[in-house]
A and B are shown apart, each in its own frame.
Chain A
Amino acid sequence: MSAPIIQLDRVTRSVSSGAWTLTILDDISLAIPAGQFVAVIGPSGSGKSTLLGLMAGLDRPTRGTVIVDGHDLGSLGEDEVARIRGRTIGVVFQSFHLIPTLTAQETVQVPLELAGRTDAARRAAQLLDRVGLAQRGHHHPVQLSGGEQQRVAIARAFASEGSVLLADEPTGSLDSRSGDMVLELLVGMNTELHTTLVMVTHNPDIARRADRVITLADGRVGSDSLSS
């Protein structure tokens, strides 16, 4: 087995409000090797999205360490984490989170421009072509269907050619046909580009296609199994 690209060591994430404290993730340790497709499942409120946020460096653990591609995210400043994210991590959200003022082409260009790529426009056009939206580059999010928006988001996530892709219920807001198309794209591009894919999902069919399934319950790892 290759060395882990994502490693969580005794990670706890809790939030306080006044007198009470809510523990969302409780003492979780994980190691995800490069290239693995991991599905994270569990009931609502079990901490799936929080776990993904910690892996993306979008949040900090209350205790424990999160190491991605050799970087201890908890020890770095926010801007440094942002730079690592730009180089290494792509994120796909359930509600797409496209910038409403940018066209599809510009949306995919943004991470490439942030990385200082001079071929941003050409590469963005290739990626849009790859997700089947070559003709929709000049359209704004409001002019696209939900499935199309999510495909733009996938193209954006793969744009930086990072080694990790994190997806938070990417098909949760889509009908089954669009959902299938998005899933095929994610899995297909993950295989093509040899990325590590961590996907939060409620869908058991998606989980069955993963190399590994981690089940969360009440903020703890209930089960962690490799697919046969």
Chain B
Amino acid sequence: MNMRFVLRMAWRETRATWGRMSLFALCVACGVGALVATESATAHLTRRIKQESRSLMAGDCSLTSRRPFDPDLRARVAALVAEGVVMAETLETLSMVASPDSTATRLVELKAVSPDYPLYGRLVTEPADAVERFGRGGGVLVSPSLVAQTGLTVGSRLTVGELTVPIVGVLTSEPDRLGDSFRMGPRVLLRRTEMDRTRLTGWGSRVSYRLLFKLPARLDVQSVRRRLVPDASDRRLEFRSADGGQPQIEGFLNRTNAFLNLAGLAVMLLAGVGIAVAIHTFVRQRLETMAILKCLGATAPALIGVYLTQAVILGTAGCIMGAFLGVAMLKAVPGLLAGVLPFAVEMPPIPLVIARDVGTGLLLTVAFSLLPLLRVRRVSPRAIFNRAVEDGTGGAARDPAAWATLAGLAALCTLLTVSRAGTMKLAMQFLGSFALTVVALLLAARLLLWVVRVVPAPGAFTLRHALVNLRRPGNQTSSVLVATGLSVFLLQSVYLVDTMLADEFLLALPDRAPNLYIVDVQDDQKGGVADALASHGIQALETVPLVRGRIVEIGPKPISELHPDPAKAPWWVNREYVLTCRNHVGAGESVVAGRLWSADGPRRAEISVETVTASRFGLGLGDRVTLDVQGRRLQVEVTSLRSVRWGTLRPNFFLVLPPYLLEGLARTHFTVAHVGTEAERAALQRALVRRFPNLMVIDISAGVAVVRAFVDRLSWVIGLAALLCLVGGLLVLIASIVMTRRHRTYECALLKVHGATRPMLVRLLALEYLLLGLIGGTVGALSAWLAAHWIATHTFEMTLSGRLPSVALGGLLAGALTALAGALASSGILSQPPLAILRDE
């Protein structure tokens, strides 16, 4: 191949088509920008979490138990301490606190700490010297939210259980606590030695005991693990290392990372489609040039080289623009994440990530360009004599090079998706739904063209010509359908994920949603609690009995056979389930298979199982399950499956039994109520706790507000991803319209010559795009709904109910937007005088 010719010709073609092909570069810029922004942001977040992991744990490793540590374990710990391990101890529990000086009562998260706590990081207080005073004993530190909610200040006294102590300072930062988000109440920190005096750690209290360790360099975490927990199957002890990370934070972060990375990749793939559309149309417009060059002796590889070089020149320009765009977007991320994470994250550009994403952008540019460029080989120079150059589209299906390129492109996309999705399953779901949507859109385009061909043309001029335009030679039906459909697919997918999160995270609660939980109501307290509520003019929304139990057999098989190694079993296998009994379907629930028993029906040993739990255990109607409830074995048959919306704040359960099965068992009750104002809730809290000191009365409105604020932030991030998809989609759409502009200009000029008016032509163009937008939008929206439904059920184990009307509306809106974009992008065509256009042709 003559490289001098290739380079010179590529430069000449780039120079001549720069205006039209700038959209190509913009597509690349959009894709690379999305890649750089998302990958850099996730890299920064992951690195920062790793950096913070020791502080977040306040030690190198920790051991947690729900019971006091037994003497054997204490002896093992003592041996480690003798070898230079530094140890700190914490106890955590929920408790109501009151002030003897005021009427303030609050549920708090109480934490007692030994003198060495924290082993990493530090306590930050207001005033700063409060830490020393706290260390000397005789006072507690409280989080700012308690001060704000109760009006108590430094110096005020606080009663914790049977202990009354002064507040010595306000705790503004605690290393292993991520702010007050997702918390049951404000923090109260006291000395470990003072905990016993509260008498809150007696029998029946729910205390979490934790030992934190700081290891000398010669000891590694795994050896310490083996010495502390010799029996790996011992589920009473939970060992964690800082290197193992913070499962909850990392779980959340991994999902967010995967979502953002996939959103970025989706935009890049959308841009790839834009690149393919642009090159496809460009090649069609340059067929005559190619035929001439072939007449002059240019070979097919040389011509492919010319146009591939042009794609690389434009792609490089796009990649550079994209890198700047990505860095600019990256600057906005810390602001979006402010308040979501317990530490500030700076987001400087990462050169390695930028270089990699620019490389990815270029690679995808070449890969997506190559497929349409292969047609160059099939352009015959003889067509120049006929003055109608063939478009070279025929024979692609039998072209091994085309199939090889397609396979390479698929492999490249798979590789990129797997590296970004984190798991093969999610990657396959993402790519599969993306590829299936493209196939569905191409089939829809074929079907549309077939219908237009076989159905007799309507009489109305504009409609007839709009339909004829769809199937004219060199039409843009497929490209506009794919562009519109894919954009709608991605936008709707993002929207559905957003609404799924909103459902899950309480954004769509009714006005009278529960805001007060009353926990641990004993049988003999039920009437008194109802009376107390009634005296405040409140009626409980619901009171449900609770017992705890484990699943011990599925059918004839013990649960231990399903997962022989308890250490590797998923969390849902051996957990203690909270069960209830009732004769009706709960709020936010619906029976999706079988029937729930009725109060007056026959007494059968049966159970209703939530759908996701049923699929985890492989349970269906008629299957038998054995439960262990307080030592009583209950063998029951699954007679109904329930779908549950967990975000309603109502008590919902994985397992529900008929009431008669729990008769005679010790149980507590859980009451939920809606109480109008914060003052009314506080008054009710005080009244209840005074009368029934064992109760936990939780005002969840603050927690809900925190979660809502959090999801709101997350929605911003999701919105950013949606915006990227929209911009990418619009670019592809405009690219495909602008690329066919010359052809349409000529047609419009001819129609004008024969008497068509401008309003008529506007209607004609708008109608053509409306048809394409409607079909593309509907196919894209339906694909998104199916994909989101599949991913929700099989990956996130969430339910996606309804939403079809809004999805359909999305399709309609896409149609209208496409019509508008089509008419606007074509507007310049109509203002040109026809004679000049015809002379140019």
Contacts and interface: CB of A to CB of B under 8 A. Distances in A.
Interface of A: 49-50, 52-53, 56, 58-59, 78-79, 82-87, 91, 93, 95, 97-102, 106, 109-111, 113-116, 142, 156, 160, 168
Contact of B289 (A58, A93, A99, A115): A99
Nearest to B377: A78
A97 B292 contact: yes
Contact of B387 (A56, A59, A85, A95): A95
A50 B382 CA distance: 9
B381 to A, nearest CB: 5
A91 B296 CA distance: 8
A218 B398 CA distance: 36
Contacts of A52: 385
Given A53-B385, A59-B382, A82 B289 contact: no
A114 B301 CA distance: 12
Interface string B524-566: 0000000000000000000000000000000000000000000
Contacts of B808: none
B295 A85 contact: yes
Contacts of A102: 12, 16
Contact of A101 (B4, B5, B12, B302): B12
Interface string B390-420: 0000000000000000000000000000000
A79 B382 contact: no
Contacts of A50: 385
For B2, B380, B385, the residue with the greatest tally of chain A CB atoms inside 10 Å of its CB is: B385
A79 B299 contact: yes
B297 A115 contact: yes
7 contacts: A58-B384, A78-B299, A85-B296, A91-B295, A110-B5, A114-B296, A160-B296
B385 A110 contact: no
Contacts of B292: 97-99
A164 to B, nearest CB: 13
Interface in B357-381: 380-381
Given A78-B380, A91-B295, 12 more contacts: A49-B385, A52-B385, A58-B384, A59-B382, A79-B300, A82-B294, A86-B296, A99-B289, A100-B16, A101-B16, A110-B296, A113-B5
Contacts of B238: none
Contact of A82 (B5, B12, B17, B299): B299
A85 to B, nearest CB: 5
B12 A114 contact: no
A79 B301 contact: yes
Interface string B277-297: 000000000001100111111
User: Which DSSP category, helix, strand, loop or mixed, fits chain B's interface?
Assistant: helix
A152 to B, nearest CB: 12
B840 interface: yes
A82 B840 CA distance: 30
A137 to B, nearest CB: 14
A168 B2 CA distance: 29
Nearest to A56: B295
Contacts of A115: 297
A114 B2 contact: yes
Chain A interface main SS type: helix
Nearest to B378: A78
A25 B214 CA distance: 94
Given A113-B4, A116-B2, A82 B297 contact: yes
A84 B8 CA distance: 22
Contacts of A84: 297
Interface residues of B, number: 30
Of B2, B296, B300, B840, most A-chain CB atoms within 10 Å:
B296
Contacts of A86: 296-298
B297 A85 contact: yes
B13 interface: yes
B382 A58 contact: yes
Most interface-central of A78, A83, A116 (chain B CB within 10 A): A78
B8 to A, nearest CB: 6
Contacts of B385: 49-50, 52-53, 58-59, 93, 168
A113 B384 contact: no
A84 B298 CA distance: 10
B127 to A, nearest CB: 75
A146 B380 CA distance: 26
B749 to A, nearest CB: 17
B17 A87 contact: no
The 10 closest A-B pairs by CB, nearest first: A86-B297, A101-B16, A79-B299, A59-B382, A113-B5, A58-B382, A58-B381, A111-B296, A85-B297, A114-B297
Contact of B4 (A100, A116, A142): A116
A52 B386 CA distance: 13
Contacts of A113: 2, 4-5, 8-9
B563 to A, nearest CB: 63
Interface string B2-21: 10110011001101110000
Contacts of A49: 385
Given A114-B302, A142-B840, A97 B295 contact: yes
A78 B300 contact: yes
A110 B387 contact: no
Contacts of A106: 12
A146 to B, nearest CB: 12
A23 B497 CA distance: 64
Contact of A99 (B5, B293, B301, B840): B293
A86 to B, nearest CB: 2
A133 to B, nearest CB: 18
Contacts of B296: 85-86, 91, 110-111, 114, 156, 160
B298 A82 contact: yes
Interface in B158-175: none
B310 to A, nearest CB: 11
Contacts of B302: 114
Contacts of B382: 53, 58-59
Contacts of B2: 113-114, 116
A123 to B, nearest CB: 14
B45 to A, nearest CB: 48
Output the residue of A86, A87, A93, A95 with the most chain B CB within 10 A: A86
A98 B12 CA distance: 14
B167 to A, nearest CB: 80
A44 B387 CA distance: 15
B282 to A, nearest CB: 12
Contacts of B8: 109, 113
Contacts of A109: 8
B15 to A, nearest CB: 8
Q: Most chain-A CB neighbours within 10 Å: which of B5, B13, B297, B300?
A: B297
B397 to A, nearest CB: 20
Contact of B297 (A53, A83, A100): A83
A117 B298 CA distance: 14
A91 B12 CA distance: 22
Contacts of A59: 380, 382, 385
B382 to A, nearest CB: 4
A144 B139 CA distance: 95
A87 B243 CA distance: 69
Contacts of B300: 78-79, 82
A114 B5 contact: yes
Contacts of A156: 296
A119 to B, nearest CB: 12
Q: Which of B288, B295, B301, B381 has the most CB of A within 10 A?
A: B295
A98 B289 CA distance: 8
A170 to B, nearest CB: 14
A79 B379 CA distance: 12
Given A53-B385, A79-B300, A101 B294 contact: no
A97 B4 CA distance: 23
Nearest to A57: B381
A141 B785 CA distance: 53
A53 B381 CA distance: 9
Contacts of B840: 142
B438 to A, nearest CB: 32
A94 B288 CA distance: 15
